[in-house]
Amino acid sequence: MSFTIVEPARFRLNRSQLFVPGIRPELLPKAAKGAADIINIDLEDSVPVAEKPKARANVVKALSEVDFGDKTVSVRINACDTHFMYRDLVDLIEGGGERLDLVMLPKIGTPADIYAVDMLVTQIEAAVGRKKKLGFEIIIESALGMANVEAIAAASPRNESLHFGPADYAASIKARTVGIGGFNADYAMLADAQPDGSRPLHFGDPWHFALSKIAVAARARGLRAVDGPYGNFSDPEGFKAQARRSVSLGYEGKWAIHPSQVALANEMFSPTEAEVGQAKRILDAMEQARKDGLGAVTLDGKLIDLASIRQAQVMVQASAIIAGRGA
Ligand code: COA
Ligand code: MG
């Protein structure tokens, strides 16, 4: 390890985050009874400008009236370039009580954006005597945010997670797509002619760079990396494929923009029984290796070493926490 010790953000189960527009408060009790790890009530892009004050009032009311059980509750506020943002924070923290766990900050571009929000949150928390410090979920969804993602990740001790917002990001970099996440048939290479004359098309993942960059920036600061929305909620197989890809890059969860995506995210971001079983076998084999004075040994014809212990421990710990949650 480096001499620099990275403190992990406070642990939360973060496989699925269900979004509920602040102008549809009747959906909140349903969302609270479902299986999402985090409920994100939205004041930003699912709320038209004329409805912002109403949505804000709905959210403050819901925070004291809806039974959210053991769920993490987050509210996505408006961005720093709007005049809605300060009022969102003031009303939520002054009127929302202690039930609010996190605020989600959209369209963050620089560490100074986080600094400004942190200052405001700190003042309001102190003024109302809030006991629990609010954490920040940060969406990286612009070229500026991506260029500054490492400094953004380090900008406040309130930071808990970085999220990828594919729709705004595509708009910001002027990528030619109107999908929200998902496949892009234009992102492909035409292979040279094969011996039989055919020229296969090889598709790539247009989100790979953004996802990898965010995952590394997040993990370097002990934050969770969370993949954003898959807009086509009528395509569960597509959702699962994208989630599986994100898992392999180090992502811990994914947004659900429809309740049907919650179970899919929980499934994809929970280690399988076979994976946990194999992780336990690795830990047993490495314990035996330690007793034998060895650091690297063979299991099922493959090398395992001290790094394998760390990978296996992550999996076993995650499965124990999920089992405790009951879903
Ligand atoms: N949270 C909780 N329940 C929801 C829900 C949500 N976000 N979206 C839909 N439901 C409920 C509906 O009330 C309905 O319940 P019922 O069977 O008891 O009547 C059921 O789930 C099926 O809903 P459906 O008719 O398929 O969806 P819809 O047409 O009402 O809404 C969306 C579809 C996409 C508009 C809606 O899910 C939504 O607003 N999602 C969040 C969007 C958002 O916040 N975006 C910002 C982040 S990208
Ligand atoms: Mg967005």
Strands (E), 12-141: 16-21, 38-42, 72-76, 102-105, 135-140
The pick from 258, 261, 262 for probing ligand 1's pocket by mutation, whose C-beta has the most ligand atoms within 8 angstroms, reads: 258
d(CA 255, CA 243): 10
What pLDDT score does 326 carry? Answer: 64
> What CATH number has the domain spanning 16-191+199-270?
3.20.20.60
Q: Pick the atom of ligand 1 nearest to 20's CA.
A: 7
Angle, helices 260-268 vs 236-248, to 10°: value is 30
What pLDDT score does 327 carry? Answer: 59
Ligand index nearest the alpha carbon of residue 166:
2
205 CB-contact burial (10 Å; exposed 0-12 / middle 13-18 / buried 19+)? middle
* Residue 154 phi, psi (nearest 5): -95, 5
Tell me, in angstroms, the distance from the centre of ligand 2 to residue 166's CA. 8
**Distance in angstroms between the alpha carbons of the first and the last residue of the chain:** 34
Q: Percentages helix, strand, coil for the chain, rounded to the nearest 5?
A: 45, 15, 40
Residue nearest to atom 42 of ligand 1 (CA): 257
Q: What is the DSSP letter of 204?
A: -
What pLDDT score does 179 carry? Answer: 86
Residue nearest to atom 3 of ligand 1 (CA): 27
**Tokens 């496989």 found at:** 15
Q: Which of 101, 131, 96 is nearest to 37 (CA)?
A: 101
Q: Which helix (H) or strand (E) holds 317?
A: helix 306-325
Q: What are the residue ranges spanned by the domains of the chain?
A: 16-191+199-270, 275-325
pTM (global) more than 0.85: yes
Tell me, in angstroms, the distance from the centre of ligand 1 to residue 205's CA. 28
Mean pLDDT by 10 residues, the chain (327 residues): 90 96 98 98 98 98 96 98 98 96 98 98 98 97 98 98 97 92 94 97 96 98 98 97 97 98 97 93 94 93 91 88 77
**Tokens 């995952």 found at:** 215
Instruction: Kindly report the length of the chain.
Output: 327
Cβ–Cβ < 8 Å for 93, 130: yes
Ligand index nearest the alpha carbon of residue 163:
2
Ligand index nearest the alpha carbon of residue 23:
1
What pLDDT score does 236 carry? Answer: 98
